[in-house]
């Protein structure tokens, strides 16, 4: 089995040398063909210069430079489409995912039972708020998006490269690699791995950004909000019907007390709220349709370093050097 390791990089100039220094012996010890693809996602520090030095000084390392910050999942899509070998491993750039754990994940892929394996931490490595936000995102993926094994999802993945054929046409500003992988296979497993604490800096995924990511996934890959708006309208209709029947009944039995202003105002507020919520949900979908029709790319590679760097066009998955049409959509500015 040959392996391509894809690493999205952002503000990681200090950690990349140590990561690559630990990663290359692990891959060499597997005695398989391998490569490492460093995708620098428009990082404002010296991450690109560091990645270029590593690509020029280390056999099997390549570097891609996004023309701006598109977001972690967009950077992953770019690296996955560049992968040359049978299995893709994705991992973070901050040394929280130990390279020494990669053989465990590859061993789980041996045979034909699984197509995708996630590395799950023995113990949660994040704080309370971050953990709650992360678990909420995973619960939403399981419920609204129908992603199997959503609660075991992590950024430490190993999957068969052929799965990318299932999302070759994926484009847009809010791509999610885990949802895309769920389109291609249901043979998903997980292995327990040891995660490490960050040596430098802090995670770019704050609870606020995780919530925003969850909203993007929900609106970008599911019609659940539209159904929820319909259910809300139905519920409000039932409430209005009950109120109407109550008023008629009280009139029929002789209780002709005129309803006060508060009752009328409350009913108007309830129905107005239902309408505004429904219109807002529809507006989000229309806005995303408009954004997809603008023709902006999902990502743009501005520079390459390392093997195959001379190629100045994207390559079709599975066939190096074959031009392919760039994806359509706009990129996200967040990590």
* C-alpha Rg value of the chain to the nearest Å: 25
CA dihedral 310, 316, 318, 319 (to 10 degrees): -50
Residue 89 · residue 65 · CB < 8 Å: no
**pLDDT for position 38:** 97
Calculate the CA 243 to chain-centre distance.
Answer: 45
Tell which residue, 100, 124, 94, 119, has the closest CA to residue 109.
Answer: 119
Q: How many Cβ atoms are within 10 Å of 103's Cβ, its own excluded?
A: 13
Least confident of 30-39, 247-256, 292-301, 317-326: 317-326
pLDDT tens digits along 132-161: 555 555 555 555 555 555 567 888 999 999
CA distance 151 to 22: 29
Q: Is residue 328 very low, low, confident or very high in pLDDT (cuts 50, 70, 90)?
A: very low
**pLDDT for position 311:** 43
Q: Which tokens hold the place of 18?
A: 């140590």
- pTM for the complete prediction? 0.70
pLDDT tens digits along 67-117: 999 988 999 999 999 999 999 999 999 898 999 999 999 999 988 789 999
CA distance 178 to 141: 9
């Amino acid at each position: 089995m040959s392996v391509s390791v894809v690493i999205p990089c952002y503000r990681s100039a200090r950690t990349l040398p140590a990561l690559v220094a630990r990663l290359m012996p692990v891959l060499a010890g597997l005695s398989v063909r391998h490569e490492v693809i460093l995708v620098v996602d428009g990082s404002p520090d010296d991450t690109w210069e560091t990645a270029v030095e590593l690509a020029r000084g280390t056999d099997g390392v390549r570097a891609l430079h996004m023309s701006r910050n598109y977001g972690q999942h967009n950077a992953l899509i770019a690296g996955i489409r560049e992968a040359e070998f049978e299995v893709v491993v994705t991992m973070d750039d901050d040394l929280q995912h130990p390279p020494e754990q990669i053989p465990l994940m590859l061993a789980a892929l041996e045979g034909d039972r699984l197509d995708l394996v996630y590395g799950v931490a023995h113990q949660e490595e994040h704080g309370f708020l971050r953990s709650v936000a992360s678990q909420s995102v995973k619960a939403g993926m399981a419920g609204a998006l129908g992603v199997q094994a959503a609660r075991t999802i992590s950024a430490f993945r190993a999957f068969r490269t052929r799965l990318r054929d299932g999302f070759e046409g994926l484009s847009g500003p809010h791509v999610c690699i885990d949802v895309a992988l769920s389109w291609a296979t249901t043979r998903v497993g997980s292995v327990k791995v040891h995660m490490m604490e960050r040596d430098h800096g802090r995670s770019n995924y704050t609870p606020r950004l995780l919530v925003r990511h969850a909203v993007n996934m929900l609106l970008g890959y599911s019609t659940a909000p539209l159904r929820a708006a319909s259910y809300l309208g139905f519920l409000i209709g039932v409430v209005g019907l009950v109120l109407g029947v109550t008023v008629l009944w009280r009139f029929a039995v002789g209780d002709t007390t005129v309803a006060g202003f508060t009752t009328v105002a409350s009913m108007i507020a309830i129905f107005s709220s239902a309408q505004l919520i429904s219109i807002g949900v529809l507006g989000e979908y229309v806005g995303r349709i408009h954004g997809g029709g603008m023709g902006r790319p999902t990502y743009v590679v501005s520079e390459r370093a390392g093997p195959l760097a001379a190629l100045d066009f994207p390559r079709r998955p599975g066939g190096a050097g074959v031009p392919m049409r760039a994806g359509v959509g706009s990129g996200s500015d967040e990590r």
